[in-house]
Amino acid sequence: MRAGINCALANRQILTHLTRQVFAKILPKAYLPLLYDVSHNTCKVEKHRVDGQLKKLHVHRKGATRAFGPATSTCPRIARGRPAGADRRQHGHASYILGGTEAGMQLAFGSACHGAGRAMSRHQALKNWSGSKVINDLFGHAS
């Protein structure tokens, strides 16, 4: 699992670098800072309270990511309350950056579902939209 996590991290870094290169050719003065880089589908050893006792647990997040609350003392101060992930409601509609809460730390060991709040499943979305329809809708053209 650690090898897979490392491979995904390297892949995200490569895609970020290549994206910046493309933008540099088109918009040389473009500034593309990394807002956040977060893994999902991981298993980590973490300390959490269970029945009032602090315990060391293997927390497996399949389809989820770590979402630190703003008061979490187990992570660096700069990372507290940071974004946990993006929530895309539907193609061409609002997207949100999500952050962890203290309640989420207590209820779900600080986990946030990847894609939480989707209006429909990925399978249903594939049935409803094609790539060209999404692009046309985003640019305001009739399909």
Which amino acids are annotated catalytic? 114
Spatial contact of 39 and 5, defined as CB atoms under 8 Å apart: yes
Strand pairing category for 53-66 and 83-88: unpaired
- Give residue 71's identity as a one-letter amino acid code: A
Q: b/e map of 53-62 (b: 16 or more CB within 10 Å)?
A: eeeeeebebe
Spatial contact of 21 and 13, defined as CB atoms under 8 Å apart: no
Residue 71's alpha-carbon distances to 67, 68, 76, 105, in angstroms, are 12, 8, 11, 10
